[in-house]
Structure 1
Amino acid sequence: MSLADAGRRAGGWLLLLTVLAALLVGPAGTVSAHATLISTDPAQGAVLETAPERVTFTFNESVIGVPAGIKVFDATGTEVASTATVRASRLLVDLDEKVADGTLVVVWRLVSEDGHPIGGSLSFAVGAPSDVVDVPGTGTGADAGTEAPALLGVVRGVGYAGLLLTAGLAAFAVLFLPRDAAADRSRARLRPVARVAAGIGALGWAVAVPLVALYQLGLPASALADGDTWTALAAAEYAVPAVVVVGLTLAGCALPASAPGRGRVALVLAGCALAVTAPAFTGHTRAATPEALVLGVDVLHLAAGSLWLGGLVAISLVLGDLARGEHGAVVLGAFSTWAAGLLAVLVVAGTVLAWRISGSWAALLDSGYGALLLVKVLAALVAIGIAAWNRYALLPRFREAAAQPEPTRPPPPRGRKASRGGAVSRGRSAPARTDRAASATPLVRTALAEAGVLVVVLAVTGFLVDRSPETASAVAAEGRGESATESVRLDDISARITLDPVAVGPATLTIEMTDPAGEPAEGFEAPRMSLASDEVELGELSLSSLGPGVYAGDVVLPTTGEWEVQVSLRTTEFDNPVRTVAFRVPDGS
């Protein structure tokens, strides 16, 4: 190795380590697995004197409306005419008819910015709550009925396998194979495989579109005949598969059968670039921050994975041909060097994506998404182990066999015909070629084994794409179970305000009031509490009495930082002291 080559290689590793250090040291930020409902107007459980003209839901990010996803029911389960409108992060539900006194329930389903559906219900009353409420589908969770179907995961896996295999085979053919006629036989082997893989990948991405529509909108298969089903999908759900199909078609069709020129190489690589770049603009990366970093890392992750998988399959297909000549050791050595760098990129990119999407290291251990991700990591580690054995044990043997010169042909014995002598000499030179072929066989087997493990990685990836990771705050709240309490004086009444848990996401705010003797105390009216930060004002909470002097209300904290709770209590007909306490919500990462 020359000093210049050594300097370039050292510089490349230094750059990789610098990027890795920057990614790991930089702050993780707050990542949402899907949109979070911040507030509603009216509030959950509110009792109003008159029916509102409009019900407003406010989320922490933009949401997408779903046809027939918003319905309003009275206490008997009869649907109330309504009109739903989505404006960025707000859902507006207008009541189009007069309603009688009693409980009303708004059942809603929307699509989050990352493509995952969310749903839930809101109950409030006009005049007085109804004694019995019989409304179907009124789950309180935001994920009720929003799990991705297994079929969609399988189709995703097939689509990604076809994408990565096509891009990898095509890139290997134009980047690693010699640009002369000696490699034409190898190119002829790779081209049909790449084209079949392109067809399978394009089919997988195309079939996923209607499955995504049914998944996001929560509709049966019969809804595909309705035009509203197709118009409700976000533009990205059409654009990304379309770009992937175009990229796969370009890469497969432009793949040459003979030594390519620069123009043909550029077309093939352009198709590969389109195919591996487009998927980064859909799924979890759309909701992770910082967006530019996560998108870039996702593209690197797919590009490295495609070249690794496609290169392994290509090696297994053409190494036997290349081993007969002088190019086998050169091609395998070049790919092996690149593979080491690809492994480093995959490890770094995969780690960063897992961190940014999950939001915390704890989420990788305490969530279903994290469990699948760990399976993917373990499978990748097995592939890395096979690759290390391939590079450091089998490759040197192959190079050693390839470096052995063929024995010279002895002159034919006197008295024998040249043709017979030629046959004898060819028989004596066969061991050198046999040694090369024999040394190539273990490499082909391990390459196939490595590729098989990577197919498992792709299968897991297919299910990960549509599984919603839990937010870091939810995992942290379940794991810590921490609460915080602050005390204030409201004239002669002492009040203890407790926030449980102190984390982003669902929480409960409780107030316990006692008199100077330590006995439960009540004010002239029930207490009032409101929450606000420097950026978000959640407004007044709906409090429920849990017993003498104890009230509690549910709240969803959308962000970390300092939250102020304003407490007011009418202690007499004329006195209404107001106090403020603060809670610091830490970053769960």
Structure 2
Amino acid sequence: MSAAVRRRPRAAAESRRAARPAAADRRRTDRLGTADSRWAARLGAAGLLVALVALLLAPATPASAHAVLVSTSPTASSVVPSGPSEVVLTFSEGVRKVPGKIRVIAPDGSRADRGEPTFKGAVVTIPVDASARGTYLVSYRVISADSHPVPGAFTFSVGAPSAPPTDSGTDNRANPVVEDAVKVAKYLGYAGLLLLVGPALVLAALWPRRLSRRGPARLAWSGLGLLVLATLADLWLQVPYTNGGGLFDVTGSGLGDVLGSAYGTAHLVRLGLLAAAAFLLRPLFVGPIGRTDGIILAILGGAALFTWPLAGHPAASPAPAVSVVVDAVHLGSMAVWLGGLVMLAVFLLRRADERELDAILPIWSRWAALAVAALLLAGTVQALIEVATPKALVDTTYGRLLLAKIVLFALVIAVAAYSRSLVRRRTAAGRPGTMRRAVLVELLITAVVLGVSATLVQTTPARTAATDVAGTPTGYFSATLTSPLYSLQVELDPAERGNNSVHLYAYTKDNRPQPVKEWKATAALPSAGIEPIEIPLLPLTDNHATGEINLPAAGRWQLRFTVRTTDIDQATVTATVPIK
């Protein structure tokens, strides 16, 4: 046997010994990959839990309405000399009727409304019989142009005030369980969208041919199912959400009203587009698809994105065409960016080799940069439209939520910049673990951002939240109070906690200045246990007096004015003033 032949078994043995460390390294790498996978799953679950907690504990508004009552006739809390034949409510945007939810209650507790109210854009007219003297209660619940309920109530008096009546026939308070369920459904819809868009985009353009598509396909089908479930939940919950009922207070007529509205139409169109897209997604999850199919799938996806703003407050903004487009761009950019991050963290950074990552990561980095730029631009335009003034950023719930979202988004951008630096230094492909951890941190923070976003779309935009109810300028109260002896014009400025100026003007029945012998005024807040506080008044003319008072707490203050017109004739009038 030759020496070369004798050396072959020795060479084979040496090759096997050399292969053992490599195999050990691969097993160690697999164990690390498994540990990373478990860590990623725990981190993702924690992110989802934090997001849901933030979602449910976020500041809630009593009505979650995106339209506000800007004026009433008669004026809220006013005293009118004779009963009106109709009550007129004017809102900041068009509203629709909720059957049986507009009522006018007479001083004796009977119904004073006569017939069905009429709706004309933002104006609601209620025919009434207000022939009895005393205080009337007007309660209402309508649907704003962006599909959100607008409940509320106010009083006015005929002749003289009396004890306000109560309305036991309807309850306009929102159901907190339904409100939270609506927010959860919105969140799940966003999550489903990104879980569908991310796999579809990566499989169509970036997925290595040698890797199996089974995992991404399952993720995408899960996203599609979650999206369909959230859309159906939106339709179901919209009935009790607008009517003020519980989770299962859904009737056929109520569901028919929802499906026949713009909100219902947008959701039905979304379901149809998702069904059509499913036929093209199926071959994509098996292998590459043709250019034409890819274009059709992109068109269907883009059309589906518009169903979100068309069913929300962008459609009722001051610039609806701009708001709808901007909101669709914002949502699409979010889905591309976060969906791609999920694919990187769950699949590509674990399965692709260094050569494949060298080709994939630079392309993805450019896509992510474009998506983030679109998010920033769209978010800026949205903020300018919905917030309107810098003061509203801190004075409204919507503004504060938006600030929180901006801070979280800035953190995400910082982490994304670090990931992009890894790609530029060409170290990401060689150190996928570091890249993957950075991506998971991005996903954790953006999970909370999604929770804030789901709450934000259910919160009154700052542009309408800053509008004062009852048609008076912000921080100002004015009303005309009537007695058998005189009418009294009352002005309180700024009608807020702290120092306030009071101006009183007395007039005769034929609207001439009424000379006054003596003025008296008090302010009380019974709900807070504050007894009547005397308001010192200084007569400026025969029919005009002024005074200063410090109102220490917010609430519905009761102002009481006694005016003596002769040595023996005097009358007292009252007004309820909301103090912010």
Q: Normalised by the shorter chain, which TM-score bucket? A: 0.5 to 0.7
2:223 partner letter:
A
From 120, 123, 127, the equivalent of 1:94 is: 127
After TM superposition, the structure 1 = structure 2 runs for residues 385-464 of structure 1, keeping only pairs within 5 Å, are 385-393=414-422, 396-398=425-427, 436=430, 439-464=431-456
Partner AA of 1:463 in structure 2: T
Counterpart residue type for residue 102 of structure 2: I
Contact persistence 2:105–2:165 (CA under 8 A):
no
Aligned AA for 2:148? Answer: H
1:477-488 correspondence runs (5 A):
none
Task: Provide the residue aligned with 1:200 in structure 2.
Answer: 226
Q: Give the match for residue 162 of structure 2.
A: 131
CA distance in 2, matches of 1:468, 1:550: 40
Tell me what 1:78 maps to. 110
Alignment of 1:32-431 (within 5 A): 34-44=66-76, 45-49=78-82, 52=85, 54-80=86-112, 82=114, 83-95=116-128, 100-126=132-158, 128-129=159-160, 131-136=162-167, 145=174, 149-177=179-207, 182-183=208-209, 185-228=211-254, 230-231=256-257, 235-255=261-281, 256=284, 257-320=286-349, 323-324=352-353, 326-393=355-422, 396-398=425-427
Q: Closer, same or farther in 2 for the Cα pair 1:397/1:90, shift >3 Å?
A: same
Report the CA distance between 1:41 and its aligned residue: 3.4
The CA deviation string for residues 481-537 of structure 1, in whole angstroms up to 9 with x for no partner, is 88899xxxxxxxxxx99784599xxxx997556xxxxxxx86685569xxxxxxxxx
CA distance in 1, matches of 2:201, 2:134: 66
Q: Distance in 1 between matches of 2:219 and 2:273?
A: 16
2:262–2:311 CA contact under 8 A, matched in 1: yes
Q: Secondary structure at the match of 2:152?
A: strand
Q: Output one character per residue of 1:552-583: Cα deviation in whole Å (capped at 9) or x when no partner.
A: 9xxxxxxxxxxxxxxxxxxxxxxxxxxxxxxx
Measure the CA separation in 2 of the matches of 1:175 and 1:509.
68
What is the distance in 1 between the residues matched to 2:240 and 2:212? 43
TM-score (norm 1): 0.65
**Aligned-residue offset at 1:217:** 2.3
- Matched residue, 2:16: none
C-alpha RMSD of the superposition: 4.0
Q: How much does 1:392 deviate? A: 0.3
Change (3 A) 1:154 1:339: same
Q: Distance in 2 between matches of 1:77 and 1:445?
A: 65
Q: Distance in 2 between the 1:201 and 1:86 partners?
A: 35
Q: Distance in 2 between matches of 1:131 and 1:320?
A: 73
Q: Name the CA distance, whole Å, in 1 between partners of 2:155 and 2:468.
A: 29
Counterpart position of 2:522: none
Aligned length: 436
- 1:357, CA displacement in angstroms? 0.9
Q: Confirm or deny: 8 A CA contact 2:136 2:157 kept in the other structure.
A: yes
Q: 1:242 to 1:124 in 2, by over 3 A?
A: same
Shift of residue 285, structure 1, vs aligned partner: 1.1
Q: Deviations over 1:330-367 (max 9, x none)?
A: 12110101111211221221122122112222212222
Over residues 457-499 of structure 1, what are the superposed CA-to-partner deviations in whole Å (9 max), with x where a residue is unaligned? 111111111111343783899xx988899xxxxxxxxxx9978
Letter in 1 for 2:122: S
Contact 2:361 2:423 survives alignment (8 Å): no
> Alpha-carbon deviation of 1:174?
1.6
Distance 2:73 2:99 in 1: 22
Q: Mean Cα displacement is larger for which, 78-87 or 310-319? A: 78-87
| CA distance in structure 1 between the aligned counterparts of 2:370 and 2:213, rounded to whole angstroms | 25
Q: Distance in 1 between matches of 2:490 and 2:250?
A: 51
Alpha-carbon separation, structure 2, partners of 1:511 and 1:122: 23
Distance 1:311 1:78, change over 3 A: same
Whether the 8 Å CA contact 1:117–1:146 is kept in 2: the answer is: no
Q: For 1:334 and 1:159, locate their aligned partners in 2 and report how far apart those are by CA, in whole Å.
A: 28
Partner residue of 2:60?
A: none
Residue 569 of structure 2 corresponds to none
Displacement of 1:163: 1.4
Q: How far does residue 33 in structure 1 lie from its aligned partner after superposition?
A: 7.5
Residue identity matched to 1:164: L
Question: Structure 2 matches for 1:500-519, cutoff 5 A?
Answer: 500=493
Gaps spanning 5+ residues in structure 2: where?
1-63, 479-488, 514-534, 547-580
Q: Please say which of residues 218-227 and 350-359 is displaced more in the overlay.
A: 218-227
Change in Cα spacing, 1:268 to 1:317, as seen in structure 2 (3 Å) is farther
Q: Quick one: distance in 2 between partners of 1:43 and 1:209? A: 36
Partner AA of 2:152 in structure 1? G
Percent identical across equivalent pairs? 27
* DSSP-derived class of the 2:390 partner: coil
Could you state the TM-score of these two structures normalised by the residue count of structure 2?
0.66
Once residues 80 and 443 of structure 1 are traced to their aligned partners in structure 2, the CA distance between those partners, rounded to angstroms, is 69
One-letter amino acid of the counterpart of residue 352, structure 1: V
**Quick one: distance in 1 between partners of 2:491 and 2:108?**
37
In structure 1, the partner of 2:461 is 469
The Cα shift of 1:288 comes to 2.1
Q: Secondary structure at the match of 1:149?
A: helix
Q: Tell me the CA shift for residue 383 of structure 1.
A: 1.7
Any unmatched runs of 5+ in structure 1?
A: 1-31, 402-435, 486-495, 514-520, 529-544, 553-589
C-alpha displacement of 1:230: 4.0
CA distance in 2, matches of 1:75, 1:326: 82
Change (3 A) 1:509 1:138: farther
Q: Following the alignment from structure 1 to structure 2, what is the Cα–Cα distance between the partners of residues 484 and 106? A: 19
- Aligned-pair distance for 1:121? 2.7
